[in-house]
Amino acid sequence: MFNTIKNAWRIPDLRKKMLFTLLIIVVFRFGSVIPVPFLDAGALATLMKAASENTALGYINMLTGGAFSYASLFAMGITPYINSSIIMQLLTIAIPALERLSKEGEDGRKKIAAITRYVTVALGLFQGVAYYFYLRSNAGIVKITDGFAGFFVGLVIVLCFTAGTALVMWMGEQINDKGVGNGISIILFAGIVARLPVTMGSVWQYIQLGFTSPSTAGHYLVLAPLFVVLFLGIIWVIVFMNEAERRIPVQYAKKVVGRKMYGGQSTYMPVKVAMSGVMPVIFASAILSIPQFIKIFWDPAEGFGKAFMDAFSSTGWIYTILHFLLILMFAFFYMSVQYNPLEMANNLRQSNGTIPGLRPGKPTAEFISKILSKVTLIGALFLAFIALVPIIYTNVTGMHGLSIGGTSIIIIVGVALETVKQLESQMMMRHYKGFLD
């Protein structure tokens, strides 16, 4: 990976793309710590410190890179854009007009992208209003709350949150156009990596607690280092599964053109086990962040409301089950979008290729569909298992406050691998000798 980055750095246009991506990340991190106006920084810090035990706050902080706890310009993060993308992709399948629009080529995709931006701003506005009322409900944080001046202050705060959402969305699109990697993934990656020192600090606190408290010495002195080992082990498994693939054998028929004979070779059609990458995990996390966000400004103390919100806690069992099911659903959804077995079978037949033992046409398409379903299921189960292991570990050991979970690790490793592969493909297109050596 480091050799790939070093070789890419030597190419002027790739170096510009890498520097541009780095610049966007730096701007995002600056915006994540710049608070919106008319807030009392001391009262806000006190509130967030008291609320640090809230798993919902920790989860949203993880997705925003800590921007939420600062009530900063980018407090809403990239989540509204992710949710908007999910909504538009589902509506494209459900609404015939949008489906026709998606098939109109570049113009149709631009129109859908414009609608996605509008939906993103609307979601950012809604979440900004909700967060403002949460801040206002705690006395002393919002400096002015009464009369026309209070209305003006609230309007400015909400508009700052909404503008931050639009700016984050724009930065993600700029990375797609002028940088390296997927913009959404890169921004999420930057936010999660920024939380790594906090997680390591929590692990160190548990180790210190094991030394200072005789009653928990054996407990935390074993479990805290075990978390680090689990973290490294999950990274190894993710890298291994990311390279795993199912190879479908393909035999091409011989044909004579003039005096030369073409074809006749045997090859294979690779199908990646983790074909959808980290997107199912990102989409599942974004959807499940909605009840976590609601809990921030509406947290009932008792009754059915409390039981309901506790069930959707990021360490709850209902949350765990829903996370598992959503990852499976989005993995199969992405497989259906990316792969068309009938089209793949027709392409094979047009190029005089066949899968040994199968007739061209429908039998080949059914075989490819069966293989894709099995591989997708294995990949989805792998993603779900990795995402849920740290949640189960936290519930069993009681080590709360570790903001880096399985979802975060998958996003970090997956984005790093995808970005490196994109660099490799761009170097390959430029016939870069240093990469081929």
- The full set of domain ranges for the chain reads 1-185
- Percent pLDDT > 90 in the chain is 11
pLDDT value for 297 = 62
Residue 282 has pLDDT above 70, yes or no: yes
Range 146-169 burial, b when 16+ CB lie within 10 A, else e: eeeeeeebbeebbebbbbbbbbbb
Mean pLDDT of the region 156-174: 93
The whole-angstrom separation of Cα 32 and Cα 75 is 7
pLDDT value for 418 = 82
CA 360, chain centre distance (Å): 38
Confidence category of residue 432, pLDDT binned at 50, 70, 90: very low
pLDDT value for 261 = 60
CB within 8 A of 107, min separation 6: which ones?
none
In the Cβ-directed half-sphere of 211, how many Cα atoms lie within 13 Å? 5
* The CA-based dihedral angle spanning residues 392, 396, 398, 400, taken in that order and rounded to the nearest 10 degrees: -10
Q: What is the model's pTM?
A: 0.76
Arch. (CATH architecture) of 1-185: Orthogonal Bundle (1.10)
pLDDT value for 216 = 54
Range 309-325 burial, b when 16+ CB lie within 10 A, else e: bbebbbbbeebbebbbe
Give the type of residue at 29. R
**CA separation, residue 246 to residues 202, 273, 372, 378 (Å):** 40, 7, 9, 11
Confidence category of residue 175, pLDDT binned at 50, 70, 90: very high
Query: Cα-atom radius of gyration of the chain, to the nearest Å?
Result: 25
Residue 62 has pLDDT above 90, yes or no: no
